[in-house]
Structure 1
Amino acid sequence: MGAQNSQPFAIPDQEEIMTETGFSQASVLRLYQRFQALDKDEKGYLSKDDLEGIGELAVNPIGDRIINVFFQDGRETTDFRTFARVLAHFRPVEGPVSSESVNSRLSKLKFAFQLYDQDKDGKISRAEMLQVLRMMIGIQVTDEQLECITDRTVQEADKDGDNAISFEEFAKSVEKLNIEQKMSLRILK
């Protein structure tokens, strides 16, 4: 009795995931359990519908954009490894981090940038900025005020005068923000 439960819990690609993401073995186990709980049909992968059931994402103004990051390159499902990689962007920074790390400042900035750059042209257009600000600020300001905020934001960040914000301009405009902490979730402790 109980012999089945005494065997080690097998998580696909566990060592590679730990290396890629910096998650501890215990964190990978908790993520895998969360993945399995979301995978109600026990398919071994998640769909957008599965992720839309997460309450925190449902109430987040850019939740749909965050969900879309799990489904790059037109994929309709995400496996556990991709799930862990995306969530690693939100892993708190502890001590020195290499620039190649998934939760480095550079990686977090690239992740944040792609939430704005929906057409994936490498620039945040005025329309893309307006769309995000409208989602985040909502009805708290008038359309005219929102247009002014958008114009000023793009104008201040756009150093080359092309009326769009490149990744380099985006990174420069948020250089004083503590992005490492702002993009961290303490759900895996």
Structure 2
Amino acid sequence: MGNRAGSIQLQEDEIREIQEETGFSHNQIVRLYSRFTSLDKENNGSLSREDFLRIPELAINPLGDRIVHAFFNEGTDDSVNFRQFLRVLGRFRPLKAAQEKNKLNTREEKLKFAFKMYDLDGDDKISRDELLAVLHMMVGANISEEQLGSIADRTITEADKDGDQHISFEEFVSAMERVDVEQKMSIRFLH
């Protein structure tokens, strides 16, 4: 994998490996590589947080910072390479039963990703304060502080089965049991 300046392209064996790992088609990988290199302003084969924040869809998304943070959980603190980029995107591929050799876009992986959006401090639990902070990100000033607090309290009460005032991943999975995560966390990628 290279940069635009050197015009180094993905090799066929790399594409096959990425297909196996992510489930993306050959054409999707090539097109996503083109998008990746157009975002790579330093032409160094990696994206910085600033590169991600230039993506218009993330700039307007209230959870844009959290989504960008998820990419850096895959990579280092300061950059993400193309394969790391695709591993995160792979979680948003729609499920196709006949195509499920890889495990990135399973229901469990999608739920792990969603859980991390709420687990701001990375302690594998969602506290009331974390839930409140994410609700603030999503709705801004459209709902009163009291209403947000009530939503957070009710959510914790309903999901917290062991009474520790936090939502564990297992409790999160249980709370999301009736939610069509596969549909809600899928993006139709370039065809």
**Structure 2 match to 1:70:** 71
**Structure 2: which 5+ residue stretches go unaligned?**
1-8
Within 5 Å, give how 1:13-162 maps onto structure 2: 13-72=14-73, 74-95=76-97, 101-162=103-164
- Structure 1 residue 10 displacement after superposition: 2.8
Say which SS state the counterpart of residue 47 (structure 2) adopts: coil
1:170 paired to 2:176:
no
**How far apart in 1 are the matches of 2:150 and 2:100?**
38
Say which SS state the counterpart of residue 30 (structure 1) adopts: helix
- Per-residue deviation, residues 21-79 of structure 1 (Å, max 9, x unmatched): 11011111111011001012211111000010001101111110110111127520000
- Structure 1 residue 17 displacement after superposition: 1.3
Say which SS state the counterpart of residue 90 (structure 1) adopts: coil
- Structure 1 residue 140 displacement after superposition: 1.5
**Structure 2 match to 1:10:** 11
- Structure 1 residue 119 displacement after superposition: 1.1
**Structure 2 match to 1:5:** none
Q: CA RMSD in A?
A: 2.0
Say which SS state the counterpart of residue 85 (structure 1) adopts: helix
**How far apart in 2 are the matches of 1:62 and 1:79?**
22
Alignment-mate amino acid for residue 57 of structure 1: L
Q: Which moved more, 1:104-113 or 1:64-73?
A: 64-73
Alignment-mate amino acid for residue 27 of structure 1: Q
- Per-residue deviation, residues 76-118 of structure 1 (Å, max 9, x unmatched): 0000000000001111112356596100000000011011112
- Structure 1 residue 139 displacement after superposition: 1.4
- Structure 1 residue 188 displacement after superposition: 2.1
**How far apart in 1 are the matches of 2:110 and 2:146?**
31
Alignment-mate amino acid for residue 158 of structure 1: D
Aligned identity (percent) is 50
TM-score by length of 2: 0.89
Say which SS state the counterpart of residue 93 (structure 1) adopts: coil
Paired residue total: 183
Alignment-mate amino acid for residue 56 of structure 2: G
**How far apart in 1 are the matches of 2:173 and 2:99?**
18
1:183 paired to 2:168:
no
**Structure 1 match to 2:4:** none
Contact kept in structure 1, 2:23 and 2:99, CA below 8 Å: no
